[in-house]
Chains A and B, each alone.
Chain A
Amino acid sequence: DTAVSQTPKYLVTQMGNDKSIKCEQNLGHDTMYWYKQDSKKFLKIMFSYNNKELIINETVPNRFSPKSPDKAHLNLHINSLELGDSAVYFCASSQVAGTKFITQYFGPGTRLTVL
């Protein structure tokens, strides 16, 4: 019974293409995140949505556009893919309201390879 799920698990595509990664959580959490883990293994936050509202937007190229249709879903759309976008992308969720110390729960990751 997966708590945070992502699709697809692997994505191989050509430079210049547009692609989307989907994320869903069934934990009833109010906040969702996208992280990027690059080749040096740094795990860096990209975006966060709380109750469908964007609350964190790190310095990410505007080719990346997150969309949250509801609290349980956070999708990541990437336009005009570049070689440097190759990485593993992790979705995460947490309960923020009523919580002082927040624990984030991660999905299994999507390995994106841009050729």
Chain B
Amino acid sequence: DQQVKQNSPSLSVQEGRISILNCDYTNSMFDYFLWYKKYPAEGPTFLISISSIKDKNEDGRFTVFLNKSAKHLSLHIVPSQPGDSAVYFCAAGYSGTYKYIFGTGTRLKVLA
């Protein structure tokens, strides 16, 4: 029973355009969400997070949007750069616990 789903295993985007990565969750108790980026042979690197009291959080080229009613979050990267090519994982959890549920990842390829 996968509580966090990333339904697109891969995505290709032209350099300079917007990349949109999507994530859906089923547990309405989740109140904190994170995005991680992972390069081959490295561990996931924290990118950006959002709590359920917000619907948007921005950090430079990265913006995360949260739609609680749809149980959906998305990561926007604008403009996309070749160095953004990596696997992106979303994760969800609730405050007061130590445990996060991860999606299976979306491989982003930014074409030069």
Q: Which residues of A contact B (CB under 8 A)?
A: 4, 31, 33, 40-45, 48, 50, 55-56, 90, 92, 94, 96, 100-109
Contact = CB atoms under 8 A, between A and B. Distances in A.
B32 interface: yes
A106 B87 CA distance: 15
Interface residues of B, number: 21
Contacts of A45: 99-100
Given A33-B98, A42-B102, A42-B104, 10 more contacts: A31-B98, A40-B104, A41-B87, A43-B102, A43-B105, A56-B98, A101-B49, A104-B100, A107-B43, A109-B41
A92 B43 CA distance: 9
A58 B41 CA distance: 25
Among all A-B residue pairs, the 7 with the closest Cβ atoms: A106-B43, A43-B102, A101-B32, A106-B44, A108-B43, A48-B98, A107-B43
